[in-house]
Amino acid sequence: MAHIVAVTACPTGIAHTFMAAEALRRAAQAAGHTVRVETQGSVGTQDALSAADIAAADAVILAADVNIDESRFAGKTVVRASTQDAIRDAAALIGRAAPGGTATPAAPAAASGPLHVVGITACPTGIAHTFMAAEGLEGGAKKLGYTAKIETQGSVGAGNTLTPEDIRRADLVVIAADTNVDLSRFTGKRVYVTGTKPAIKDGSEVIRTAQAQATVHGASATGGADASSPDFVAQAAAAKASKNAGVPPFYKHLMTGVSHMLPFVVAGGLLIAIAFAIGSFQFGDQGIFIYEDKYAGTLGNTLFKIGANGAFGLFVPVLAGYIAFSIADRPGLAPGMIGGFLAGLTGSGFLGGIIAGFLAGYIVLWLTRSIKLPRTLEGLKPTLLLPLLGTLAVGLLMMFVIGKPVAAALTGLTTWLQGLGNTSAGLLGALLGAMMAFDMGGPINKAAYTFSTGLLGAKVYGPIAATMAAGMTPPLALFLATLVFKNRFTKDEVEAGKAAGVLGISFITEGAIPFAARDPLRVIPSLMVGSAAAGAISMAAGCLLRAPHGGIFVLFIPNAVTNLPMYVVAILAGTVISTVMLGVLKKPLDADGLPIVKNAPQAVNAAD
């Protein structure tokens, strides 16, 4: 019996990573060997191999589609393959790793060439210490005979930015920063964190210390039997991130703005809904008009002003500001927010805010690259020149060129939506619903949600009702399907269905992604049909939603939903339709989670 250790990894770190790991475990068990598998992916490193595990191993299997740090396996026999190889023929890989197989010894760590170091430096002001620390690390690496690339995160944005290829090649990551730095890019890499002062004082000493003390980022603190099975919510969150990976920069910048905008929209919408509830309780049916001046000073009217004038008044500036921030870093924030505020003044709403954000971002980015100053005067750029020139350019464009035409377009769109008949509204609801279920948290889902949320500022509440109903349907349908059609799902999926149900009632569509990743051709069409039905019924019935999030919990707030009975019908109808389709399209599975194939007819004996 051989003791084997393995590492599996794929670019997204979800489906193929875990499928390859499970295939290797089953093949090893069938062959009478033991195997311990470390998975590296977007949810971090799970069931990390310890030094003792590696020392006791007879062989190592690396089933990976991305670069793996092999230095810790020096001297061990190694089998290299892709995750597809492990999924399709794990038994062959186990056979190669077993004694007498064709595994080859790993090259000693020293044979891999000079160490390649990457790093990030940052300080609160982003000027002097940031660049001095970068120079210290680069000089220290050169002194040790290593190569280095250091990204500076300063007040004028990121400089010498690390590319995915730089990070893939890196043997060591050094973070010399006095502010918080996002380390998500370095999952699976050996990372050492310190301040800027040690890097300025002696960069070579910092790198030597990093070699001795760096730890693998994202590795679990402990292994354990459960470490190889990350919880369902973590898988869903990671799947959401992977769906947004590789999208165009335009989408990434827009989603940065939307993600920062959403808390304002949600808080404002819920406060408005609570204000209506209080108004109805105090003044009966007329309380729905709690926003009128005659109710000034009442609790309901005050809450309405906080939500409508406070939170809703800020969401367009925040949207524009963080779009610009995503493009040009901190210097773009002020011009972007001011441009978003001017979008409100000109009546161009969220459409004007999006345009203002992109204008501010690219104008400030151009100014950052075009204005060259001596290093002693660099501090003037982020504090004086960029905010002034960026705001001036964006402000003039919004007031004299963009504001009025976009305001007219938004008014036309609002009038058209408010004048839709039942049939046309149903078709729009079906389209929004299908988009919500198509990629469940990806670009198309977010496009439908952003469109619907943006219309809240124009007091158009139908599309957001349709998108929330349609977004709740996919995980709810999978929860119901795992109860009604258990034989169509693996044991793990049946357990995960419970978590999907909780995510569904909370309006977290991403709860359906792990199921769709395993069987996309059957699951995604089933979910799209149900979500389209939910969206169509909601829009055709005239359901309106004043709170853009919250799932089923919002339904208990009086007047938060107009035509509540039909809204509940829409959610239930979409859920049932998707559940039935899942039961019809998915195939029954055996005890091992494999599709049941009927035995072929036995051949008839010629003598008979």
Measured CA distances, 408 to 320, 376, 403, 412 (Å)? 19, 47, 9, 6
**Do residues 528 and 440 lie in contact, with contact meaning Cβ atoms separated by under 8 Å?**
no
This prediction has a pTM of 0.58
Backbone angles phi, psi at 154, to 5 degrees: -110, -175
**Do residues 433 and 531 lie in contact, with contact meaning Cβ atoms separated by under 8 Å?**
yes
**pLDDT for position 586:** 85
Cα angle 476, 481, 485 (rounded to 5 degrees) comes to 170
| Token reading at 333 | 């924030």
Closest by alpha carbon to 436, among 457, 394, 406, 464? 464
- Write the DSSP assignment of 282-313 as a string of letters: HHGGGGGGTTSGGGTTSHHHHHHHIIIIIIHH
Closest by alpha carbon to 19, among 228, 242, 241? 228
**Residue that the structure tokens 């309405």 belong to:** 304
User: How far apart are alpha carbons 418 and 338 in whole angstroms?
Assistant: 30
How many helices and strands (H and E) does the chain possess?
24, 14
Helix (H, G, I), strand (E, B) or coil at 457: helix
Give the CB-side neighbour count of residue 264, counting CA atoms within 13 A: 20
- Write the DSSP assignment of 309-360 as a string of letters: IIIHHHHHHHHHHHHHHHHH-GGGHHHHHHHHHHHHHHT-HHHHHHHHHHHH
Question: Going by C-beta distance under 8 Å and a sequence separation of 6 or more, which residues neighbour residue 578?
Answer: 473, 474, 477, 478, 481, 526, 527, 529, 530, 531
Measured CA distances, 281 to 269, 554, 559 (Å)? 19, 17, 11
> Across the strands, what pairs with 3?
34
Identify the burial level of 181 via C-beta atoms within 10 angstroms of its C-beta, where 0-12 means exposed, 13-18 middle and 19 or more buried: middle
CB atoms within 10 A of CB 563: 15
> Across the strands, what pairs with 545?
561
User: How far apart are alpha carbons 193 and 186 in whole angstroms?
Assistant: 12
**pLDDT for position 506:** 84
**pLDDT for position 124:** 65
- Concerning whether 543 is annotated as a catalytic residue, the answer is no
Q: Which of 123, 148, 351, 512 is catalytic?
A: 123
| Token reading at 182 | 């996002």
Write the DSSP symbol of residue 156.
T
**pLDDT for position 174:** 92
Identify the segments of the chain with pLDDT beneath 50.
Answer: 104-112, 220-230, 245-246, 600-608
| Token reading at 229 | 């099975």
**pLDDT for position 395:** 94
**Residue that the structure tokens 């800027």 belong to:** 196
Q: Over the Cα atoms of the chain, what is R_g?
A: 28
**Do residues 510 and 438 lie in contact, with contact meaning Cβ atoms separated by under 8 Å?**
no
**pLDDT for position 108:** 42
User: How far apart are alpha carbons 127 and 201 in whole angstroms?
Assistant: 17
* Alpha helix stretches (DSSP H) within 371-438: 380, 386-397, 403-418, 422-438
Identify the burial level of 406 via C-beta atoms within 10 angstroms of its C-beta, where 0-12 means exposed, 13-18 middle and 19 or more buried: buried
